[in-house]
Structure 1
Amino acid sequence: MAKVAFIGLGVMGHPMAGHLKTRGGHEVAVYNRTAEKATRWVETFGGRAAPTPAEAAAGADFVFSCVGNDDDLRQVTTGPDGAFGAMAPGAVFVDHTTASAHVARELHAAAAARGLAFLDAPVSGGQAGAENGVLTVMVGGDAEPYAAAEPVIGSFARMIGHMGPSGAGQLAKMVNQIAIAGLVQGLAEAIHFAKAADLDVEKVIGVISKGAAQSWQMENRWKTMAAGEFAFGFAVDWMRKDLGIVLEQAKATGARLPVTALVDQFYADVQAIGGNRWDTSSLIARLDPPKRG
């Protein structure tokens, strides 16, 4: 059992922290900017709620975070009352935010200057993966703290991979989002085409999902896409944030991402019709507008 802190109790962080307590058996302190969420977490799982990131992190062997963006991450690490100021030398900070590779490298250096370790460890699997403890985690950072943190991360993950040095975890998550963006648009067009051709969508998916077209998105999203139901899952606003990071990184490296850039604009179209909080599978709404009752 380790002493653990978790910073950020949103739809991902809340169940992840819960698995650290219930499945991992760790001693867990939590912090959330909205204190009521931390109080509710403690009522559900036990542990301790702290009023600042620093107080949550004091004495912890591992400090986890899952916050909104680069600036939020800086605030809870190196800002006033940030975790870095209270962590003991040798402690490991594991960040699950989808953020830039730049901020990962920046905080890796800031941690090292204090005798701490920093791992960038974005996740894939969405809210359902977090709730079921089956996330995929892509980790960047030094090998020794990765080896120490891996079994603890395993409390809420089924796949953990060390991608390379600091920033490599965030870069791997960008690869993940690039692949998903194009795939969901292709699936949206396929279902739209099947409907326009008067095919039985269920029968078609039943056949092609057993062949080369199969994907997680097809298996888990085709029914709701065909029905125009999107009130769940990974929000369009979050996907646009992620794709913005991807496209900025592509500019820096000279990578050409024409399909990703196009799909990003398609998601902007979904936002324009009120789909900010819809699941990312709502790309089909541009082609088959959902019925409004």
Structure 2
Amino acid sequence: MTSDAVPDAPADPTIGWIGLGGMGVAMATRLVERGRPVLGWNRSAARAADAAAHGVTVTSDISEVAARDIVVSTLPDDEVVREVLAGDTVLAAVSPGSVHVNCATISPGLSRDLDGLYRARGAHYVSAPVFGRSAAAVNGQLTVVAGGDAEPVDLIRPVLADLAVSVHAFPEAAQANLVKILGNYLIAVTASSLGEVAGVAESAGVDPGQLLDVLTERLFSGLIHRAYGEMVVAQRYEPVAFTMRLGKKDVDLARAQAQQHAGRLPLGDVIAGALGEGVDGTAADKDWAFVAEWFRTQAGGSK
């Protein structure tokens, strides 16, 4: 049997989880609450303990997790993903016919590499990055972009349905990663532009809150403009859901994709510079929406 088919998929597949940071804990906990037991592993014992407190069964043996029918991973970047998922320990434990669901925002190139590695083991690889913060994960309100062969994507749909309001399927794993990268890039552009208009409003004596009430009523009424607009108006960027360090990583991924296809992202160059100043300074671990403050001050607003 080739790796293009899912053999005798179990009615109640066992689920493993690799990476129990803030988003990983939120997503795994959601599955547990929906009646799906999860066996999890994390590099940090403290994070693992937090997951255990929320009902996730934890183990220090990653190979035990990697052997499950469906294995979900929520890891931070290309370096860690390559180290963990492409490592001999995980690959040796992968079960033929199993599905690895990688929710990390990584480069399309790495996604293609992982797809090849898992196919060679007779297993399936699906990229399934998500849009939404940990609060959305807890409430099953994520948006999932799933890239991979149709059969394994269909197999994991019931699990994804417990986490998300919608699942958008793409035929290749790498395509899902590109969609997520570009989506995060657009969020960064939105936060930056909100900071700019708030700065100009302040310098002209106009209440930024009133300005954004007008703009987000109908003209820019989407979730991102409203949520990030509230953060910018209040200059409140806690609790931290996604750090500036990770935001810089994602904007750089978008810039690299443009360059790979003989283009560039001029706005991205400026935003990457602003995020870079934050990462090199004291703001590396602040929420990435804090980049709006750089643009706010550039536009004449207050710090």
- Fold-level similarity (TM above 0.5): yes
The alignment partner of 2:76 has SS state of coil
Q: Which secondary structure does the structure 2 equivalent of 1:81 belong to? A: helix
User: What letter matches 2:275 in structure 1?
Assistant: Y
1:30: how far off? Answer: 0.3
The one of 211, 215, 218 aligned to 2:222: 215
Aligned to 1:50: 59
Q: Which residue does the alignment assign to 1:205?
A: 212
CA contact (8 A) 2:190 2:225 kept: no
Is 1:135 aligned to residue 146 of structure 2? no
- Structure 2, unpaired ranges of 5+: 1-11
Number of matched residues?
287
Q: State the TM-score, normalized to the length of structure 1.
A: 0.91
CA distance in 2, matches of 1:269, 1:85: 41
| Deviations, residues 50-76 of structure 1 (Å, cap 9, x unaligned) | 213211122x21000001222322232
Confirm or deny: 8 A CA contact 1:78 1:85 kept in the other structure. no
Tell me by how many angstroms 1:212 deviates.
Answer: 1.9
**1:5 counterpart = 2:16:** yes
Aligned CA distance change for structure 1 residues 164 and 255 (closer, same or farther; 3 Å):
farther
Note the 1:153-164 alignment, pairs <5 A: 153-164=160-171
Report which structure shows greater RCO (CA 8 Å, sep ≥6): 2
1:115-154 superposed matches below 5 A = 115-154=122-161
Q: Give the corresponding residue for 1:15.
A: 26
Distance (whole Å) between structure 1 residues aligned to residue 190 and residue 101 of structure 2: 29
Report the Cα distance in structure 1 between the residues aligned to 2:248 and 2:27, rounded to whole angstroms.
Answer: 23
- 4+ residue runs over 6 A deviation: none
- Write the deviation string for residues 110-166 of structure 1: whole angstroms up to 9, x where unpaired: 111111000011111123222332111111111110011111112211121112212
- 2:38 alignment partner, SS class: strand
1:253 alignment partner AA: H
**Higher mean C-alpha deviation, range 142-151 or range 177-186:** 177-186
8 Å contact kept, 2:244–2:291: no
Taking structure 1 as reference, are residues 290 and 157 closer, same or farther at Cα in structure 2, changes over 3 Å only? farther
Does 1:74 pair with 2:82?
yes
Matches within 5 A, 1:165-176: 165-176=172-183
Among 276, 283, 292, which residue is 1:284 paired with? 292
List runs of 5+ in structure 1 lacking aligned partners.
none
Q: Cα 1:290–1:282, aligned 2, differ >3 Å: closer, same or farther? A: farther
Q: 1:10 offset after TM fit, Å?
A: 0.4
Cα distance in 1 for partners of 2:71, 2:213 equals: 44
**Distance across 2 between alignment mates of 1:35 and 1:200:** 46
**Once the two structures are superposed, what CA deviation does each residue of 1:169-191 show, in whole Å capped at 9, x if it has no partner?**
10111110221122111111111
SS in structure 1 of the partner of residue 54 of structure 2: helix
CA distance in 2, matches of 1:114, 1:80: 12
For 2:117 and 2:236, how far apart are their aligned partners in 1?
A: 44
Q: Which of 47, 50, 57 in structure 2 is aligned with 1:37?
A: 47
Q: For residue 132 of structure 1, what is the amino acid of its counterpart?
A: N
Q: Secondary structure of 2:22's partner?
A: coil
* Letter in structure 2 aligned against 1:153: L
2:42 partner letter: N
Map of 1:248 onto structure 2: 256
